[in-house]
Structure 1
Amino acid sequence: MSIARQAATLPLPPGRTGLPWIGETLSFLLDPDFATKRRQEHGAIFRTHIIGRPTVVMSGAAANKFILSTHFDKFSWRDGWPDNFKELLGASLFLQEGVEHQRNRRLLMPAFHGKALTNYVSTMNEITDRYLAKWSQTGNLTWFPELKNLTFEIASVLLIGSEPGAETIELSRLFTELTNGLFTIPLNWSYTTYGRAVAARDVLLAHIEKVVLERQQAPTQDALGLLVQSQDEEGNRLSVAELKVQALLLLFAGHETTTSLVSSLCLALARHPEILATTRAEQVQIGLDAPITIDSLKQMTYLDRVLREVERMYPPVGGGFRGVTEEFEFNGYRVPKGWQVLYRIPEAHYDAEIYPEPDTFDPDRFAPERYEYKPSDYNFATYGGGSRICIGMAFAQMELKIIAAKLLRHYSWELLPNQNLTLDPIPTLHPRDGLKVKFEKLDMSA
């Protein structure tokens, strides 16, 4: 019997399809534990019907490796993501594939590595200092939206050269409207969440087009300026339409997940004062007034462990969609061509066989003598993996480290009572009540 014929005799994964047309979409969107409950019932692979398509959910390190690496050619990014993403984020790198993706990734790469990162440090420092000083004067605040304004301003200034101030705050608000539409029913009416998201996208694209045209006339050293000047091996450059959607993606990817990770870091340290003390002691040893540079960031090895543990326990997104372009077999089950797959990140991050006591916040699991993270095993997937690992990973990790170091050196924060600290996963992981804190400047001379 041929391999193809043998695969055709295998059963479909266990599960159910739910209601006609909508399937289990409402449960998927409204129940944060949807995938966890189904995994407990069916195992590491199960079928459902969400967002208009039959879907297989696969979880665990083996599933991550299968989808992101060893069987990468059986899946499509463009066909996997819901139409909301395609309409709101456009035909950007996020949804491109094959030669087109490889070419544009090469064009974007210089803006996120090497010399460009070094040039970003001083701006990240300056913007962060300004926000921290403002928060200390405010005292009690709802932190998550403020953190989003901070990370968006950093992304906006460094990636498209925006001027700090009222315009940047308004652009941040528009991005919040846009991201609210990524996981909602796509009814494009002015009063719906999705309708407001489309309207916000249009305003953002109009702003970006204006900036693109300015950069073409007078190139700058922000990421968009570098992108305008970039050309492929044949001397071709991106068109204005291409630059617009790539810049929109840069802004989205450059702040949304970072905001989630910063807020999770601050929440985790507030809940673990002993780890906060150890992390702060490292900053004291380096020097509270020592400049934060590329070289000094390398000295913050304990902070590295803390951030890695935050990324493990609190991944900003729960996984990724792919379209199935070729029927495949996994764990004895058949997945037909034309379905979609959702790979899940948290299950690998909380696998007790990989990470002992996975519910415990333990940065030392990433100490050199233990180091439970093994990239080749795909047991850690916060930034994806394989050839399409997040292009902005180094940018995000540097930004996280700078913000964390400045917080630890000069400020304290205390969780306020009477708030819901449950973490909602959509659109990215965030505290339900926005993380209410008492924020103060530290007196390190006492």
Structure 2
Amino acid sequence: MKPAQLPPGKSGLPILGETLNFVADPYSFVKKRYQQYGSIFKTNILGRPTVVMVGPEAIEFVLSSHMECFSWREGWPENFKVLLGESLFLQDGEEHRKNRRLMMPALHGPALVNYVATMEDITRVYLKKWKAQQEFTWFYEFKQLTFDIASQLLLGTSNGSESARLSQLFTNLTNGLFTINPLPLPFTTFGKALAARNQILEHLTQVIKQRQQNPTKDAISLLIQSKDEDGNSMSERELIAQAVLLLFAGHETTTSMLTWLCLELARHPEVKERAVKEQMQLASKGALSLEQLGQMPYLEQVLLEIERLHSPVGGGFRGVIKDFEFKGFHVPAGWQLLYSIYVTHSLEEIYPQPEVFDPDRFSPQRQENRQYPFSLIGFGGGPRICIGIAFAKMEMKIIAAHLLRSYDWEILPHQSLATVRVPTNQPKDGLRVRFQPR
């Protein structure tokens, strides 16, 4: 019996491996090798031998059918563990299942119903501000808006200047997640990220102490009160770690998707026109409501196409904790695994002309994402699909509905809209627009 063979690929330079190529442009790095080797190949990046997997079949293997071979905690670079703490994001097995069950009620079902009015109120404040400003950079504005929504609904805090300070701290923290050389010196990107993390933890400790004494209707109050089947609740340390994750995940990715949504609508007037028409028909029946949010099939198609073409996150890391075989290749425990969202979303056999922005891919007639499970994975998939998916989708719909019902915008000249993928996917100059009421 011949010994199982490692996947094809190269290890690159000693120590560095192919890290520099990978960090310079993760998408091209994976795409080129996928074209050369197929859906599984090896490399050496971020100091570890790594297997990269691409395509729905490979993604299903990692996220669903063979999850037991992989660990989240062992997969993400050290920076993530230091900066994002022991949150749900880095937990495995029973610990993850238990905490996920405790957190679910704060982000789904009846809790969401209570969030609609606040999401709308905060959105209206920003619309008024943008109307007065007329010209601004949308990425930074969305970052503030989504952060305000996250801090008010998830933490119950609503102080404007405090919210702006925290939002900036999270920007510093995010920048530290992908530094190749994490030196903890005060003037380095990683040092600034650590300082930001400490200030965030300090703030959250205060908030949690207040909520323990006076619970309100926000997600953290629900978490403080929730108990598992044995009657145990989360410790203060756990609550703080989950709060960091909720705030981080609750605004970074939504900001990215909203920015690309407004950019693509401005670039494609015919798509915007259809989306406006759908909203005007709903508006003629009354104000925006939870019920109306479920009656926007075209806006849903547009958002799915944004998720496909401009996924906020490019992929995910795992640690291989159990040897496995895929397509006849053997991968040993101890390796790192990277699965690529970007490249999976751009496979021509699933999405013809993948570089074209085309919301009709998701129309009832075409449903290109339904040919194979795990071919649209901007929010992950399987048992560990993003816990905030319903919260994020509702928030994006509310903001988009208000924009489409009452406003117009155009892209200002002399700016770069090239895609920058790290730390989160955004147009290079942040999308400067001219904004006016319709």
* TM-score, normalised with respect to structure 2: 0.97
SS at match of 2:322: coil
Match of 2:90 in 1: 95
2: CA distance, partners of 1:142 / 1:356 = 32
Aligned-residue sequence identity (percent) comes to 56
Compute the displacement of 1:288 (Å): 6.0
2: CA distance, partners of 1:21 / 1:36 = 23
Match of 2:245 in 1: 249
1:433 maps to amino acid:
D
2:206 maps to amino acid:
K
Match of 1:166 in 2: 161
2: CA distance, partners of 1:164 / 1:303 = 32
Asked if the contact 1:68–1:385 (Cα under 8 Å) also holds between the matched residues in 2, the reply is: yes
Q: 372-381 vs 113-122, which deviates more?
A: 372-381
Match of 1:437 among 411, 433, 436: 433
| Structural mapping, 1:41-440, within 5 Å | 41-184=36-179, 185-287=181-283, 290-374=286-370, 377-440=373-436
Q: Deviations over 1:409-428 (max 9, x none)?
A: 11111111111111111111
2:16 maps to amino acid:
I
2: CA distance, partners of 1:193 / 1:277 = 43
Question: Are the structure 2 counterparts of residues 139 and 288 from structure 1 closer, same or farther at C-alpha, using a change threshold of 3 Å?
Answer: farther
2: CA distance, partners of 1:164 / 1:374 = 43
1:158 maps to amino acid:
L
Compute the displacement of 1:324 (Å): 0.5
Compute the displacement of 1:65 (Å): 0.6
Match of 2:8 in 1: 14
1: CA distance, partners of 2:105 / 2:70 = 27
Q: Deviations over 1:102-127 (max 9, x none)?
A: 11000000011111101000000010
2:79 maps to amino acid:
N
Compute the displacement of 1:331 (Å): 2.2
Q: Deviations over 1:131-173 (max 9, x none)?
A: 1111121111111111111111100110011114100011000
SS at match of 1:383: coil
Extract unaligned runs of 5+ from structure 1. Answer: none
CA RMSD of aligned residues (A): 1.3
SS at match of 2:368: coil
2: CA distance, partners of 1:107 / 1:336 = 34
Asked if the contact 2:350–2:371 (Cα under 8 Å) also holds between the matched residues in 1, the reply is: no
1: CA distance, partners of 2:53 / 2:258 = 28
1:82 maps to amino acid:
P
2: CA distance, partners of 1:249 / 1:391 = 11
SS at match of 1:373: helix
Compute the displacement of 1:219 (Å): 1.0
Asked if the contact 1:147–1:259 (Cα under 8 Å) also holds between the matched residues in 2, the reply is: yes
SS at match of 1:384: coil
Q: 20-29 vs 307-316, which deviates more?
A: 20-29
2: CA distance, partners of 1:375 / 1:72 = 22
1: CA distance, partners of 2:411 / 2:107 = 34
Extract unaligned runs of 5+ from structure 2. Answer: none
Match of 2:30 among 24, 35, 41: 35
Asked if the contact 1:288–1:409 (Cα under 8 Å) also holds between the matched residues in 2, the reply is: no
2: CA distance, partners of 1:75 / 1:11 = 20
SS at match of 2:435: strand
2: CA distance, partners of 1:76 / 1:317 = 19
* TM-score, normalised with respect to structure 1: 0.95
Q: 25-34 vs 43-52, which deviates more?
A: 25-34
1: CA distance, partners of 2:280 / 2:196 = 44
1: CA distance, partners of 2:285 / 2:413 = 33
2: CA distance, partners of 1:82 / 1:375 = 33
Compute the displacement of 1:374 (Å): 2.2
2: CA distance, partners of 1:298 / 1:375 = 24
